[in-house]
Amino acid sequence: MVRLIPKDEAFYEVFLRDGENLVAAARELDDLVVSFPDRLDERVGRIQALEHAGDVIDDEVSKRLDKAFITPFDREDIHELASRIDDVLDGIQSVAETFVIYGIESVTPETKRLAGIISAQAVQLLDALKLLEKKPDEIGPHVTAIHDLEHEADGLSRSAIGRLFRDRMDPLEVIKLRDLYIELEETIDAAEDTAEVLERIVHKGT
């Protein structure tokens, strides 16, 4: 039977661009933390520009949804996937801006590892998005890796926050670092939420 109204398959290409933009932002954050405080304002500016680029892609998804008669998977899932990727980008920007707003002067080993986890999750999300159109049944290992990274981050952030209070640090520094850890953890949670949306899309298609 000939399909008179074809599916708008361009959604896959748009999500690939969204994933690539996310990886670029996550790597910028990782570089920011590793080289801190070298060119801090410049690096934060690049992350802000990438977050804006993500907003443009999100708008494109919304416009395509308004125009498409048939979508490659459920409209609700397309909208949620775009929203969850945007949440991760927002989190990356928020973490980067926290360094400037709070006037953080140095980074802890835990901060470096948590930023590295965000970057690793972003790569796994992009790898999963690359498989979504042709090989959705191969997404599972990437989703599992994202979950494993979140579990590592959960224990690491709890331990890091506990250490802030045990080490009798200056109260203001405790507040700054605690809020930074929370921002990092929430961004990592957002990446896991994105993976769960991908997992649900695949399950619906099988």
The per-residue pLDDT for 71 is 87
Any idea what the Cα angle at residue 201 is, between residues 23 and 188, rounded to 5°? 35
pLDDT tens sequence across 15-61? 999 999 999 999 999 999 999 999 999 999 999 999 999 999 999 99
Residue 4 neighbours by CB under 8 Å, 6+ apart:
none
Report all structural domains of the chain as residue ranges with CATH numbers, in order of start: 10-205 (1.20.58.220)
pLDDT, average across residues 108-117: 97
Count how many Cα atoms sit within 13 Å of the Cα of residue 201 in the half-sphere of its side chain.
Answer: 29
pLDDT, average across residues 83-89: 98
pLDDT tens sequence across 144-169? 999 999 999 999 999 999 999 888 88
The per-residue pLDDT for 101 is 97
DSSP secondary structure string for all residues of 76-139: HHHHHHHHHHHHHHHHHHHHHHHHHHTT-----HHHHHHHHHHHHHHHHHHHHHHHTTT-GGG-
Q: Which of 20, 102, 110, 32 is nearest to 57 (CA)?
A: 20
pLDDT tier, 8 (very low <50, low <70, confident <90, very high otherwise): low
Query: Residue 142 in contact with residue 127, Cβ under 8 Å?
Result: yes
B/e letters for 34-46, b = 16+ CB within 10 Å, e = fewer, are: eebeeeeeebbeb
Instruction: Inform me whether the pLDDT recorded for 6 exceeds 60.
Output: no
CB burial of residue 203 (10 Å; 0-12, 13-18, 19+): exposed
User: What does DSSP assign to residue 137?
Assistant: G
* Coil/strand/helix, residue 200: helix
Structure tokens given for 38: 């070298």
The per-residue pLDDT for 69 is 79
Instruction: Inform me whether the pLDDT recorded for 170 exceeds 60.
Output: yes
Mean pLDDT of the chain: 93
Q: Which of 86, 82, 84, 119 is nearest to 194 (CA)?
A: 84
CB burial of residue 29 (10 Å; 0-12, 13-18, 19+): buried
How many whole angstroms separate alpha carbon 106 and alpha carbon 104? 6
pLDDT tier, 7 (very low <50, low <70, confident <90, very high otherwise): low
Structure tokens given for 80: 């949620």
Instruction: Inform me whether the pLDDT recorded for 2 exceeds 60.
Output: no
The per-residue pLDDT for 167 is 84
